[in-house]
Chain A
Amino acid sequence: MSVAIPVLETRRLVLRGPEPEDYPDFKATFSSYRARFMGGPLNAYEAWMLYAAEIGHWQIRGYGMWMIHDRDTGRTYGMAGGWKPAKWPQKELAWVIWPDAAGKGYALEAVHAARAHYYAQGWDGAVSYIDPKNLDSIRLAERLGAVRDVQAEPVDGNDVVYRHPAPDDLAGTQLSHGIEMEIGHYADPLFKPKGWALD
């Protein structure tokens, strides 16, 4: 019954199953203000239980959340992947980036890869349940081509539903190329500042 968690590699990242040694990084974020849109901040016991549940989710559903690592250093930047605990109406693509790793396009790169992986495995679509106050996450959903779905059932009404483009609306489209181009810009910026601006 033991599900082997696949490893995904992207331009700058490696996505691996959550391991015991990654727990301190998870706990730091989930016990902080950063977790306010994800049911937190959690106390130490709740954070540990949730981390264990992230792992157990893989075994129960056959899919789940990966730990996002830097390809070169192995450092963790956050988590991304598929999420559907009980009560979730549909399969979700979810993400969390540690606060000090935000703004570098890591979530975009990780979720783009996770979505491609699940679509290749036969998912016919996905949603993201987002706190409407979480503007950074809504912005990311939109950069990924997801649009607000007012018909879809939310988890508990404290969230809004963003629907991701279906596989056929993503593969080989301008949208997909745009996402890859944006990731490329993060990895290798076209315009690099040459020193400090003086004024």
Chain B
Amino acid sequence: MIPIPTITTERLVLRAPCAHDHAPFAAFYASEAAQFVGGPMRDFEVWRYMAEVIGHWQLRGFGRWMVERKDRPGAIGLVGLHAPLDWPEPEVGWMLWDGNGRGYAAEAGRAARSHAYGKLGMRTLISSIAPGNAASIRVAEGLGATLEPDPFEHPKFGTMSVYRHPAPEALA
């Protein structure tokens, strides 16, 4: 099994998902807040989704982390690199269910992007975002990503806008 690395930022820890993240993750997916990321989902569907997040690491060698605040225990979001089957290319994605509006999604997203460009040697990244998800679009734009002309049709999530992140050399 590929060990899932832990990444620390100024205010956050990005770590491997584990069994006790199921409760907050399921609460988020039961709510309206999850409408842009495939929700609402039932409890057992969320469990399987979390198992998929972990399995993604083994199948791709990278994946998404549970995000925790340093000053308070408990996962507040899921952020990281995502490229399941038939995805147009690897993306950096974020969902946050606690502490919104404080720049946590951007902070975690930036750390995930640095991991992709640094450790993994990726040359580019996208973020696919549901067109009405204004909060997520603000995060993408805050990270310097720009809207691509062509959207992407997802078999489950429908039409997704594609935001392209600056290349590694543009960030250096």
Shortest B34–chain A CB gap in Å is 17
Within 8 Å of chain A (Cβ to Cβ): is B22? yes
Within 8 Å of chain B (Cβ to Cβ): is A102? no
Within 8 Å of chain A (Cβ to Cβ): is B54? yes
Tell me how many residues of A have a C-beta within 8 Å of chain B: 29
Cα distance, A53 to B53, chains bound together (Å): 7
Which A131-171 residues have a C-beta within 8 angstroms of B?
none
When the two chains form their complex, are residues B59 and A1 in contact, meaning their CB atoms are under 8 A apart? no
Interface of A is mostly: helix
Residues in chain A near residue B49, CB distance under 8 A: 49, 53
Knowing A60-B51, A86-B22, A87-B43 touch, does A52 contact B59 (C-beta < 8 A)? yes
* 13 A–B contacts, CB within 8 A, in A order: A5-B1, A20-B60, A50-B48, A51-B59, A52-B51, A52-B56, A55-B59, A56-B53, A59-B54, A60-B18, A60-B50, A86-B46, A87-B44
When the two chains form their complex, are residues A45 and B54 in contact, meaning their CB atoms are under 8 A apart? no
Knowing A54-B55, A56-B53 touch, does A1 contact B44 (C-beta < 8 A)? no
Q: Which of B3, B4, B43, B56 has the most CB of A within 10 A?
A: B56
Of B2, B16, B51, B55, the residue contacting A85 (CB under 8 A) is B51
Knowing A1-B16, A60-B19, A86-B43 touch, does A55 contact B85 (C-beta < 8 A)? no
A interface, CB within 8 angstroms of B:
1-5, 17, 20, 23, 43-45, 47-61, 85-87
When the two chains form their complex, are residues B58 and A85 in contact, meaning their CB atoms are under 8 A apart? no
Within 8 Å of chain A (Cβ to Cβ): is B152? no
When the two chains form their complex, are residues B55 and A60 in contact, meaning their CB atoms are under 8 A apart? no
Within 8 Å of chain A (Cβ to Cβ): is B47? yes
A-B contact count (CB 8 A): 95
Knowing A56-B53, A85-B48, A86-B43 touch, does A43 contact B155 (C-beta < 8 A)? yes
Q: Taking CB as reference atom, which chain A residue is nearest B22? A: A86
- Residues 51-67 of chain B: 1 if any A CB is under 8 Å from the residue's CB, otherwise 0? 11111101110000000
When the two chains form their complex, are residues A48 and B16 in contact, meaning their CB atoms are under 8 A apart? no
Cα distance, A52 to B60, chains bound together (Å): 10
Q: Which of A2, A20, A56 has the most CB of B within 10 A?
A: A56
Closest 8 CB pairs of A and B: A52-B55, A56-B51, A86-B47, A56-B54, A55-B55, A48-B85, A87-B44, A53-B51
Residues in chain A near residue B47, CB distance under 8 A: 60, 85-87
Cα distance, A43 to B44, chains bound together (Å): 20
Of B2, B46, B84, the residue contacting A48 (CB under 8 A) is B84
Shortest B28–chain A CB gap in Å is 15
Residues in chain A near residue B1, CB distance under 8 A: 2-5, 17, 58-59
Shortest A68–chain B CB gap in Å is 18
Residues in chain B near residue A57, CB distance under 8 A: 51, 55
Of A52, A55, A58, the residue contacting B84 (CB under 8 A) is A52
Within 8 Å of chain A (Cβ to Cβ): is B169? no
Residues in chain A near residue B86, CB distance under 8 A: 44-45, 48
When the two chains form their complex, are residues B55 and A51 in contact, meaning their CB atoms are under 8 A apart? yes
Cα distance, A61 to B19, chains bound together (Å): 8
Shortest A79–chain B CB gap in Å is 13
Within 8 Å of chain A (Cβ to Cβ): is B102? no
When the two chains form their complex, are residues B51 and A1 in contact, meaning their CB atoms are under 8 A apart? no
